Chain A
């Protein structure tokens, strides 16, 4: 087992363990905090895969933005309504069975032929430059359309949140 593998499993453990807490914890604040570790774990795996830009984005957006927003939401509503917010599970067993079958099938997928299964060459290049160039050339259209999607989402959020008239 090389160092790479050891580091990978450590990150995988952090990710999965904290994800389990997110799912099974009944206290929603605990769940939200555990999500932090899940995001970090995933960011670590990105770094291992030499996706440096993705890793940074993951931390900036998910940890810095989304997670903080969620925590604010949870804490503020908790304060206002003054009730304890809890989550619960329904139909745990049938759902568990269905999900595990699905997971099993997906596991099968990982043993099939993947294109370029080898890791890229060991030289570490920054991907940011490449990504930026791609976004301005071959992926220009998706990039622009994504901005329209975000604009629609913004308007929608404003529409739903705003008081009447």
Chain B
């Protein structure tokens, strides 16, 4: 056993790197109080190093530490997404006026970002219910603190407190569900649980209730309706960098752990009568109907409520709820095709959503406002930001030639191929609704001009920020035109350890 554990350490290098980086960052923060950039640098280095180890894991398909963590292409894909967004968020944070003016020590901010990333990475690989719970908890605890980081802003403390209450409730319910599953099957290991369930001796209704209670924990992480209530308040109250991070990486982690849970536990590995790439659900618990219903409610509510938002952060918060709804559609179809579509969507979503948040931040740095009304005339005052935000919003709507279109295209193709036509129609209608509120921002930027004279001067943006926007903007357009490599990468990444 010890030899086995020692051997597994080499396959756990990305996470170990992050842990070490986290500890070093804390110590560095104590030594260099005046210059948080050092801690930022350490965190950034750790993330990049960890990313290198993750890339080194590509092609591995193993389970380590006694089936606690899977190191498979699926996990690697999500780890890449999480690390990329963490790196972007640290770069964002370096130029955030909101954070610099907060009378807090930024050193802890950066080190906690590293801890948050660690939690999400563990979510991507966890294949034991206990591990899943701990990973979710690690990322949640870090998020609570980061959400309330600008404590002076009343919104921020309130956001943090609500987040804690809500997180506590959902992890309580989730733990309850996990304990029932343990009671029913006698194991926490998803492969063993699957094995027991496949024998068919477990009561369907008890399993269903336990499954739903566990789903609550995941639903809360990806902010699916009706477990989404924390999202708007927290997204609005948190520093915008954290909002951006939560909207991408936290969702990625949540999706990864949820998909692994459902696919690992409830899919019949021995079904052979199906076409290549399709899954068969174990009888007794028709969870995909629940996920379909949640997905419809999530995207519809997210889009409808977004229609009325006049704060950009809140608007993007609801829009990100809607996007979680779109991605849930890919889980419903029970096939590798749907899973690949989710992966494609996530990679695209990473760039377009981070881009939109970053521009909101850059504009807020200069104008001090996140109000949609204050975007009047931005198209003229900051032409580059205006064009970039336009591209990001068009991509979020899902119109060609942007990457967002490709993401939606593959999702809808997967739905249609497996016969979920009504769900595809609902998804398409929702895209139409979403156009309305994204277009509202565009209208304010270009078609309406600011009445008062003083707000017509040009907004200057530092070169570094222009470059950051470009780094996000180029993939959004490039992946819209040339998407084959991404799609191939996603198709190769649907492989999970222990699943057909």
Contact = CB atoms under 8 A, between A and B. Distances in A.
A binds B: yes
Contact of A165 (B103, B131, B186, B202): B103
A148 B205 contact: no
5 contacts: A109-B180, A114-B184, A148-B19, A156-B142, A165-B105
A140 B5 contact: yes
Contacts of B209: 105-106, 108-109
Interface size bucket, A side?
Answer: 20 to 34
A113 B207 CA distance: 10
A149 B68 contact: no
Interface residues of chain B: helix, strand, loop or mixed (majority)? helix
A149 B137 CA distance: 7
B119 to A, nearest CB: 8
Nearest to B18: A148
Interface in B54-111: 65-66, 68-69, 103-105, 108, 111
Nearest to B151: A160
B158 to A, nearest CB: 13
A157 B75 CA distance: 31
B118 to A, nearest CB: 7
Interface of A: 105-106, 108-109, 112-116, 137-142, 145-146, 148-149, 152-153, 155-156, 159-160, 164-165
Interface in B373-410: none
B210 A153 contact: no
Top 9 nearest A-B pairs by Cβ distance? A112-B203, A115-B186, A112-B206, A156-B145, A141-B65, A109-B206, A141-B68, A138-B66, A149-B138
B26 interface: yes
B203 A137 contact: no
Given A145-B135, A152-B141, 9 more contacts: A108-B206, A109-B210, A113-B206, A116-B186, A142-B134, A152-B145, A156-B144, A159-B108, A164-B152
A109 B209 CA distance: 8
Interface of B: 1-2, 5, 19, 22, 26, 65-66, 68-69, 103-105, 108, 111-112, 115, 118, 122, 128, 130-131, 134-135, 137-138, 141-142, 144-145, 148-149, 151-152, 160, 180, 183-186, 196, 201-203, 205-206, 209-210
A112 B103 CA distance: 55
A152 B116 CA distance: 9
A113 B200 CA distance: 11
Contacts of A145: 122, 131, 134-135, 138
B186 to A, nearest CB: 4
A164 B104 CA distance: 7
A6 B17 CA distance: 54
B302 to A, nearest CB: 24
Given A115-B196, A148-B22, A148-B118, A139 B130 contact: yes
Contacts of A149: 134, 137-138, 141
A137 B5 contact: yes
Contacts of B131: 141-142, 145
Contacts of B185: 115
Contacts of A142: 68, 128, 130-131, 134
A155 B205 contact: no
A155 B108 contact: yes
Contacts of B1: 137-138
Nearest to B173: A102
Contacts of B138: 145, 148-149, 152
Of residues B66, B112, B134, B152, which shows the largest number of chain A Cβ atoms within 10 Å of its Cβ? Answer: B134
B106 to A, nearest CB: 11
A152 B115 contact: yes
A93 B295 CA distance: 30
Contact of B145 (A137, A139, A160, A164): A160
Contacts of B144: 156
A33 to B, nearest CB: 22
Contacts of B148: 160
Contacts of A140: 5, 65
Contact of A152 (B2, B142, B151, B196): B142
A146 B65 CA distance: 15
A143 to B, nearest CB: 10
Given A115-B183, A137-B5, A152 B112 contact: yes
Contacts of B5: 137, 140
Contact of A108 (B130, B137, B205): B205
Nearest to A143: B134
A106 B177 CA distance: 10
Given A109-B180, A141-B68, A148-B118, A153 B134 contact: no
Contact of A159 (B19, B145, B152, B184): B145
Contacts of A108: 205-206, 209
A56 B77 CA distance: 43
A106 B196 CA distance: 21
